[in-house]
């Protein structure tokens, strides 16, 4: 069984009184490394990712499987899981 290996997310700009401020201008994409896939990332999780300005937190909006052979795209990586989405 193939596991999800890619996320689409929004950058977290800050946290004011428990409310997240997000940069909603554009979705960005990152790769989930194999060792992090053991504990699946879900929509709503907050994860730190590598950016050209260093590690930054993002809010996961979508998680899916993408094959490199089909897309020929390489993405920067998710570092770890920082905060899980609340259980329903």
Residue 50 has what pLDDT?
Answer: 93
At residue 83 the predicted structure's pLDDT band, cuts being 50, 70 and 90, is confident
Question: pLDDT tens across 20-62, in order?
Answer: 899 999 999 999 998 888 888 999 999 999 999 999 999 999 9
Does any domain span residue 87? Answer: no
Domain that residue 16 falls in: 6-71
Q: How many domains does the chain have?
A: 1
Does any domain span residue 51? Answer: yes
Scored b (16 or more CB within 10 A) or e, 45-84 reads bbbbbeeeeeebbbbbeebeeeeeeeeeeebeebbebeee
Q: Are 36 and 78 in contact (CB under 8 A)?
A: yes
Does any domain span residue 26? Answer: yes
Entry pTM: 0.87
Average pLDDT of span 55-77? 93
Does any domain span residue 77? Answer: no
Residue 2 has what pLDDT?
Answer: 77
Does any domain span residue 13? Answer: yes
């Amino acid at each position: 069984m193939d596991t999800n290996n890619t996320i689409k997310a929004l950058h977290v700009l800050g946290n004011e009184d428990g409310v997240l401020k997000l940069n909603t201008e554009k979705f960005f994409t990152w790769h989930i490394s194999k060792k992090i896939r053991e504990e699946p990332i879900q929509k709503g999780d907050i994860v730190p990712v590598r950016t050209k300005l260093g590690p930054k937190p993002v809010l996961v909006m979508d998680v899916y499987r993408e094959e490199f052979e089909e897309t020929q795209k390489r993405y920067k990586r998710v570092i770890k899981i920082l905060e899980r989405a609340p259980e329903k």
